């Protein structure tokens, strides 16, 4: 019997790459019948549909394609309750995402279908991007590029008051020491930066042994030349970067966020930049996304703003496809999954 697989990709993690990985890693399970689907993301935005979030594609179309498949591997396709109802033979779903919000996990569990996902899939890319934002905003890369694009050769950025610090001579404060925060620390230490970390959920000795220094939030804000957010979004951290937070930051310091837009009170950040209390900001995430085109934050010369690009690298795309198909192979071989969104759907014994 053949193994029927739906490979649902887009212009980032492609259906062809998913299919190629299936050919390489799943051939041992018999003849493969590969069905491909390509959404129009990122040229068309993702959205919320039929109980799932951040999805790209028509769930009705996916449900038709999923009929009689054994495996679904996907990036953004909406794997809704209707899809699970249609896919009566479905054994496993592989999601290339760090959080499979485009998959109805409750429906998957009810159908007895485990969902593999990839936490930390883009941690290296996101960490590099954070450091890139630090350099871009402190050294006028964004402002200088915009000036040239508008036909201006702006030597003014050699004025002492407009120059910025070198990373290697900065104290950089990181809020959050998860996988990305830890990798940012390693990169910054290679520059020679002094790294301060606030994370009440991580043992201070772990931070200190990595070459950084664990500090209280008030010390970090008052001391750091650059403050970068790497906290998880929770009810506790939502809006944590507010007017009080920015007022406590060192005058003339810089703010970086490529974690979650909801961590920041955008109007409070705008006010802190407008007043001159903060020297600049590097932002890859917003609340809402996209931000209004006429938002004053986007027009500020010392703000580098990008459209949620931190995870967009060729390595992330290819490695995600390779890894998620590897997880499907592991499940078909042993009945286990390294990272399963619904462990109760896993078989009790290996298959």
Identify whether residues 137 and 116 lie together within a single domain. Answer: no
CA 163-164-169 angle, to 5 degrees, is 140
Q: How far is CA 337 from the centre of its chain?
A: 22
> What averages of pLDDT result for each successive group of 10 residues across the chain (351 residues)?
96 98 97 98 93 96 97 98 97 96 98 96 96 97 94 94 96 97 98 98 97 98 98 95 98 97 97 97 95 93 95 97 98 97 83 38
98 shares its domain with 55: yes
Instruction: Give the pairing of strands 47-49 and 52-55.
Output: antiparallel
Our answer to whether residue 166 is catalytic in this structure is no
Q: Residue 168 has what pLDDT?
A: 97
Same structural domain, 296 and 150: yes
Angstrom distance (rounded) from CA 110 to CA 121: 27
Asked if residue 25 and residue 14 are part of one domain, the reply reads: yes
Q: Does residue 104 fall inside a structural domain?
A: yes
> How much is the pLDDT for 1?
79
Cβ neighbours of residue 308 closer than 8 Å, sequence gap 6 or more: 284, 285, 286, 289
- In terms of domains, do 129 and 259 share one? yes
The answer to whether residues 110 and 244 belong to one domain is no
Task: Answer whether 35's CB lies under 8 Å from 61's CB.
Answer: no
Query: Environment class of residue 300 by beta-carbon count within 10 Å: exposed (0-12), middle (13-18) or buried (19+)?
Result: middle
Structure-token match 């209004």, residue found? 292
Structural domain contains residue 259: yes
Q: Is 350 part of any domain?
A: no
* Burial category of 110 from C-beta neighbours within 10 Å (exposed 0-12, middle 13-18, buried 19 and up): middle
- Choosing from 260, 265, 302, 339, the catalytic residue is 260
**Active-site hit among 139, 213, 308, 318:** 308
Regarding whether 174 and 152 lie in a shared domain, the answer is yes
pLDDT at 281: 98
User: Do 22 and 142 have their domain in common?
Assistant: no
Q: Are residues 115 and 227 in the same domain?
A: no
Tell me whether residue 238 is in a domain: yes
In a domain, 351, yes or no: no
| Tally of domains in the chain | 2
Please check whether residue 21 is in contact with residue 12, taking contact to mean a CB–CB distance below 8 angstroms.
no
Q: What domain range includes position 329?
A: 3-121+313-345
Supply the pTM of this predicted model: 0.90
Residues 69 and 156 in one domain: no
Which is the catalytic residue, given 44, 166, 236, 289? 289
Burial class (CB in 10 A: 0-12, 13-18, 19+), 268: middle
Q: Are residues 84 and 24 in the same domain?
A: yes
Q: Is residue 21 part of a domain?
A: yes
Q: Are residues 149 and 201 in the same domain?
A: yes
Decide: 221 and 227 in contact? Cβ < 8 Å.
yes
Domain of 253, CATH number, reads: 3.40.50.720
121 is catalytic: no
Can you state the angle between helices 314-334 and 15-25, rounded to 10 degrees? 40
Query: Whose CA is closest to 231, among 278, 160, 173, 157?
Result: 173
Is residue 28 flagged as an active site residue?
no
């Amino acid at each position: 019997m053949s193994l029927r697989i739906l490979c649902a990709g887009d212009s980032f993690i492609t259906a062809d790459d998913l299919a190629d990985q299936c050919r390489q890693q799943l051939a041992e399970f018999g003849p493969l019948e590969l069905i491909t689907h390509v959404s129009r993301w990122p040229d068309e935005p993702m959205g919320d549909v039929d109980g799932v979030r951040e999805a790209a594609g028509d769930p009705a179309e996916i449900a038709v394609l999923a009929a009689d498949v054994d495996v679904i591997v996907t990036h953004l396709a909406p794997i809704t309750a209707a899809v699970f109802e249609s896919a009566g033979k479905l054994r496993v779903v592989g999601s290339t995402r760090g959080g499979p919000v485009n998959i109805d996990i409750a429906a998957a569990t009810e159908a007895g279908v485990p969902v593999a996902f990839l936490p930390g899939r883009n941690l290296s890319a996101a960490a590099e991007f954070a450091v890139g934002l630090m350099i871009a905003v402190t050294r006028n890369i964004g402002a200088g590029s915009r000036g040239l694009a508008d036909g201006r050769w702006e030597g003014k950025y050699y004025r002492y008051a407009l120059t910025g610090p070198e990373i290697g001579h900065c104290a950089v404060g990181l809020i959050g020491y998860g996988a990305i925060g830890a990798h940012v620390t390693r990169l910054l230490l290679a520059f020679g930066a002094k790294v301060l970390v606030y994370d009440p959920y991580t043992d201070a000795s772990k931070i200190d042994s990595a070459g950084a220094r664990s500090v209280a939030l008030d010390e970090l804000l008052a001391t750091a030349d650059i403050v970068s957010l790497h906290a998880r979004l929770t009810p506790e951290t939502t809006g944590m970067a507010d007017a009080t937070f920015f007022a406590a930051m060192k005058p003339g310091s810089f703010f970086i966020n490529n974690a979650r837009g909801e961590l920041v009170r955008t109007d409070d950040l705008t006010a802190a930049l407008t007043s001159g209390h903060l020297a600049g900001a590097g932002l890859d995430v917003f609340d809402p996304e996209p931000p209004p085109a006429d938002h004053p934050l986007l027009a500020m010369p010392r703000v580098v703003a990008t459209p949620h690009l931190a995870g967009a690298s060729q390595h992330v795309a290819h490695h995600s496809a390779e890894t998620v198909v590897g997880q499907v192979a592991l499940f078909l071989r042993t009945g286990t999954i390294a990272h399963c969104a619904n462990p109760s759907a896993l078989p009790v014994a290996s298959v």
